[in-house]
């Protein structure tokens, strides 16, 4: 299938990044959200990020203007029915995603490919709630989308070869690299990354090291660009906890038990950068460890 238009569901951190890269690659983009303010904020953010790319000579001013002209917004989910490829990037809750698909499916063209940017939820299960499990895939971008080169493509049990090949072609046109994953909890990246972050929280919880010493040890000792606790704050502690719960529930192995301290931070509403407090406090000029 020749994909020319893309619908993006959700104008948050992932949704606006996805809209950004698709528009820059020449696709017509229609982005939707339940909040008008979120859509307006997303457009401003995309424009600012494109301007930054212009200032760094990554793209030309003409490319920036062209990309912005290719992005349209709507608050009517049904409007996405006319697009060739839909990428759902809503909240990482299965009930929310399922409700969106049930509302959208009656309006889709028969040939439209439906995908989810989920970082951990079963693609097979999500696909089974639609009328096109053979045209359903996991299309998982990494954050921040314009910067990160990887896209995980996850086939559900019913996903057909044409759908997979079409999505591989789309990833190539975006200038990114596809990694194919089987449909098991958290796929590849988060199956490996989240237990590492969870173990770092256990290391803090058990008093083996402080926030600063844990992050410094991993940055300097393993050459990671960010320490695991700093990275958890960047991702969102609620997202980290949700993925650990998916791993724990889906694989029934105690090694995936979320650290009680991670749960406590989420209960406090200290979710990381987006709430200004997590393992670091971001309310001052420089981040300060909270433990």
Domain of residue 162 covers 5-182
| Domain count across the chain | 2
Same domain, 66 and 205: no
Q: Got the DSSP string for 16-46?
A: HHHHHHHHHTT-EEEEE-S-HHHHHHHHHHH
CATH code assigned at 11: 3.40.50.720
Same domain for 70 and 142: yes
Which CATH number is 225's domain given?
1.10.1040.10
Contact between 246 and 198 under an 8 Å Cβ cutoff? The reply is no
| Residues 173 and 249 placed together within one structural domain of the fold | no
Quick one: average pLDDT of 118-135? 95
Residues 177 and 206 in one domain: no
**Where is the domain boundary, 182, 207, 230?**
182
pTM: 0.90
Residue 160: pLDDT above 90? yes
Do 35 and 67 belong to one domain? yes
Q: Which of 153, 182, 211 is the last residue of a domain?
A: 182
H or E element, residue 289 = strand 288-289
Task: Mark the binding-site residues for NAD(+), compressed into ranges.
Answer: 10-15, 33, 92, 97, 119, 143, 274
Is 193:143 a contact under the CB 8 Å cutoff? no
140 is catalytic: yes
197 and 168 housed in the same domain: no
Please indicate, yes or no, whether residues 115 and 163 belong to a single structural domain of this protein: yes
Q: How confident is the model at residue 92 (pLDDT cuts 50, 70, 90)?
A: confident
Residue 97 has pLDDT above 90, yes or no: yes
For the chain, the farthest-separated pair of C-alpha atoms sits apart, in whole angstroms, at 56
36 labelled catalytic = no
Q: What is the pLDDT of residue 3?
A: 97
In the residue annotation, 128 being an active-site residue is answered as: no
Q: Using the 3D structure, point to which of 158, 182, 206 is the last residue of a domain.
A: 182
pLDDT at 147 over 90: yes
Tens digits of residue pLDDT in 15-66: 999 999 999 999 999 999 999 999 999 999 999 999 999 999 999 999 999 9
pLDDT digits (tens, 9 = 90+) for 240-259: 999 999 999 999 999 999 99
For the chain, give the mean pLDDT: 96
Please enumerate, by residue number, every residue annotated as part of a binding site. Answer: 10-15, 33, 92, 97, 119, 143, 274
Token pair for 151: 């896209």
User: Which of these, 29, 34, 3, 4, lies nearest to 18 by C-alpha position?
Assistant: 29
Are the CB atoms for 230 and 236 separated by under 8 Å?
A: no
């Amino acid at each position: 299938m020749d994909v020319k238009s893309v619908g993006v569901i959700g104008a948050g951190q992932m949704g606006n990044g996805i809209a950004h890269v698709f528009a820059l690659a020449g696709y017509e983009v229609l982005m939707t959200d339940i909040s008008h303010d979120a859509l307006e904020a997303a457009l401003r953010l995309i424009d600012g990020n494109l301007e930054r790319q212009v200032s760094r000579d990554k793209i030309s001013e003409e490319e920036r203007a062209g990309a912005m002209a290719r992005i349209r917004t709507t608050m009517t989910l049904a409007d996405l029915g006319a697009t060739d490829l839909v990428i759902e990037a809503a909240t990482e809750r299965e009930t929310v995603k399922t409700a969106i698909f049930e509302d959208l499916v009656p309006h889709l063209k028969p040939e439209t490919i439906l995908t989810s940017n989920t970082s951990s939820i079963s693609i097979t299960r999500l696909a089974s709630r639609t009328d096109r499990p053979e045209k359903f895939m996991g299309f998982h971008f990494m954050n921040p989308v314009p910067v990160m080169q990887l896209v995980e493509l996850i086939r559900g049990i019913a996903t057909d070869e044409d759908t997979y090949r079409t999505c591989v072609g789309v990833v190539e046109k975006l200038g990114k690299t596809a990694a194919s994953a089987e449909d098991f909890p958290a796929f590849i990246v988060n199956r490996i990354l989240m237990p590492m972050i969870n173990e770092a929280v256990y290391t803090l919880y058990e008093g083996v090291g402080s926030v600063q010493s844990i992050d410094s040890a991993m940055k300097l000792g393993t050459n990671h660009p960010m320490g695991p606790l700093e990275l958890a704050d960047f991702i969102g502690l609620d997202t980290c906890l949700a993925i650990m719960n998916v791993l724990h529930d889906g694989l029934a192995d105690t090694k995936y038990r979320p650290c009680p301290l991670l749960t406590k931070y989420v209960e406090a509403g200290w979710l990381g950068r987006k709430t200004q407090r997590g393992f670091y406090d971001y309310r001052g000029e420089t981040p300060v460890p909270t433990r």
